[in-house]
Amino acid sequence: MKKKINFFSNQSSEKFLSQLFPDLLITSKNLNELYNDKIPTEGGVVLINDSVEFTKINFKKMNKEFLFFSNIAPSSNIVIKNPDIIKSPLLISQIRSEIKKFLSNKSINFKDIEVIDRELINVKNNNSCKITDIEYEILTYLITSKDCSKEYIKNNILMIKSSLMTNSLDSHLTRIRKKLDKLQTGIKIKASNDKLIIYTNWRNLDLLIWKNFYQTPHYIYD
């Protein structure tokens, strides 16, 4: 299953990158998406070799979800704290190695959960559990996409033909829901016909916590 990754550049390089990384699903984006406050939350790899373009990037909004390759040394008046900037040029093998390392450390955050390296973590109580590659892909899609559908998951993640009748997706969603409940997170996944939505239900979470509190023996010592 191919991992998705954004490449930000003002040069037309999608074909070259697809040949260079055949195991990745590449989306080419323009650098101007990094100029304002609404920077893509899913991050990606930034290829930049223009000093003027470099000064336009809003580094205040950058985080560890971005990896920069550049042959330009940032000026002293540009404060860069979060994203890694790797000096180019590099060998092809070095570029591949850096991007592979970047993807393995890449985290996905939504409300009180974090997904990193196939581990699902509740950042509020530190409960965690392992997830499968497919569960990771489904959660990533639900968190990063605005309009989610079962059809898309079947065709692009599970690789199931539309004409094939199967409950495979429902089984995966059930396992993901159970893991979210196990972590005591307020996040829910709701299905309505072909549509899917991930959201928070904090009221039900509060009820669950109080229920567990009263069902667990508590000892009072003088």
Looking at the structure, tell me whether residues 152 and 210 fall in a common domain.
yes
pLDDT the model gives residue 175: 96
- State how far the Cα of 218 lies from the Cα of 222, in Å rounded to an integer: 13
Strand partners, 208: none
Looking at the structure, tell me whether residues 38 and 74 fall in a common domain.
yes
Stated pTM of the model: 0.60
- Dump pLDDT digits (tens) for 184-200: 988 999 888 899 989 88
pLDDT the model gives residue 120: 94
CATH of the domain at 198: 1.10.10.10
Q: Which pair of tokens denotes residue 89?
A: 């040029």
In this prediction, residues 134-162 reach a mean pLDDT of: 85
- Alpha-carbon distance values, 210 to 72, 113, 183, 205, 215 (Å): 55, 20, 15, 9, 9
pLDDT the model gives residue 140: 87
- Which domain range does residue 35 map to? 3-105
Angle of CA points 83, 86, 92, to nearest 5°:
130
Q: How many Cα atoms occupy the beta-carbon half-sphere of 36 within 13 Å?
A: 4
Q: What is the DSSP string of 98-160?
A: HHHHHHHH-EEEETTEEEETTEEEETTT--EEE--HHHHHHHHHHHH-SSEEHHHIIIIIS--
Residue 210 or 171, more confident? 171
Q: Which pair of tokens denotes residue 5?
A: 């990754």
Q: How confident is the model at residue 147 (pLDDT cuts 50, 70, 90)?
A: confident
In this prediction, residues 89-118 reach a mean pLDDT of: 85
pLDDT the model gives residue 159: 83
pLDDT the model gives residue 62: 77
Is the confidence at residue 71, as pLDDT, over 50?
Answer: yes
Looking at the structure, tell me whether residues 136 and 66 fall in a common domain.
no
pLDDT the model gives residue 208: 47
Is the confidence at residue 37, as pLDDT, over 60?
Answer: yes
Lowest mean per-residue pLDDT among 8-22, 29-43, 58-72, 76-90? 76-90
- Dump pLDDT digits (tens) for 4-32: 788 998 887 777 788 888 888 888 888 88
Looking at the structure, tell me whether residues 53 and 87 fall in a common domain.
yes
pLDDT the model gives residue 218: 35
Looking at the structure, tell me whether residues 111 and 101 fall in a common domain.
no
Q: Which of 38, 70, 105 is the last residue of a domain?
A: 105
Residue with tokens 């930034």: 46
CATH of the domain at 92: 3.40.50.2300
What percent of the chain has pLDDT above 70?
Answer: 82
